[in-house]
Amino acid sequence: MSSSNQSKSRKWTIIVIIALVIFVVFTWPKPVEREQALEAVQPDLDTAGLSPEVQAQLMAAYDSIALSFATVEPIFDRSCYDCHSHRDKLPWYFKMPVVNGMMRDHISEGREHLDFTGGFPFRGKGNQRELLNDMKEEIDEHKMPLESYLWMHSDAKLEGPVFDSVMAWINHSHELIVSVYASNGAPMKESPEATEHEHEMGDDD
């Protein structure tokens, strides 16, 4: 190797090292802001405009769903809570540069849509009926848990009997809420927060 070639490759080595240093500094893990926790966001119970009796029936339905939630919570815990809750125990690889940056966005965005913290009723973009409907769609179409997450976390995949129990719980809970409105002839209004969706479960009648 000639000496000019040598100094050229030394120059490149330095450039690569500097680029690496910049990359690592910019992607260094930052803690996910879990303290700004449960903000002021409260679950949307969708009681506006309902008579006191219907409200009471709706609350009773929510209470019963909250009880049965315990039977499926371990599944949601394993498959969804890393992105959809305020828990602070995160997998080790969330601390890696780059992954951490990606995960921070997923967590803050995921929680905005649906936050399981505190159990049922859920916080998120929409009332309980709409959130259950969204969950059903996302799980049914295998959009959740996110594909990129399953790559590191294959046990989070929802399939077989686990998939069936989650779907059964969601459907049953959704029906319970809908039946309160239906049996009282109360209109099911769309919440202003709700994400645009087809209403697979017959919300809009």
Binding residues (CB under 6 A) for ligand HEC: these are: 79-80, 82-84, 106, 109-110, 113-114, 134-135, 138-139, 144-146, 149, 158, 195
Q: How far is the CB of 106 from ligand HEC (least distance, A)?
A: 4
- Return the number of the residue (158 or 188) whose C-beta is nearest ligand HEC: 158
* Vertex 46: Cα angle to 135 and 67 (nearest 5): 60
Q: How far is the CB of 79 from ligand HEC (least distance, A)?
A: 4
Q: How far is the CB of 167 from ligand HEC (least distance, A)?
A: 11
Q: How far is the CB of 119 from ligand HEC (least distance, A)?
A: 14
- Which among 7, 138, 154, 151 is positioned nearest to 130, based on CA atoms? 138
How far is the CA of 101 from the CAs of 121, 145, 173, in angstroms? 30, 18, 35
> Measured over all CA atoms, what is the biggest interatomic distance in the chain, rounded to whole angstroms?
91
Q: Is the dihedral of CA 148, 86, 91, 104 positive or negative?
A: positive
- Return the number of the residue (50 or 139) whose C-beta is nearest ligand HEC: 139
- Return the number of the residue (55 or 195) whose C-beta is nearest ligand HEC: 195
- Return the number of the residue (54 or 90) whose C-beta is nearest ligand HEC: 90
Q: How far is the CB of 35 from ligand HEC (least distance, A)?
A: 20
Q: What residues pair up with 123 in beta bridges, in sequence order?
A: 115
- Return the number of the residue (50 or 111) whose C-beta is nearest ligand HEC: 111
Q: Is the dihedral of CA 23, 25, 29, 30 positive or negative?
A: negative
- Return the number of the residue (11 or 142) whose C-beta is nearest ligand HEC: 142
Q: How far is the CB of 95 from ligand HEC (least distance, A)?
A: 15
Cis peptide before 161 (omega within 30 of 0): no
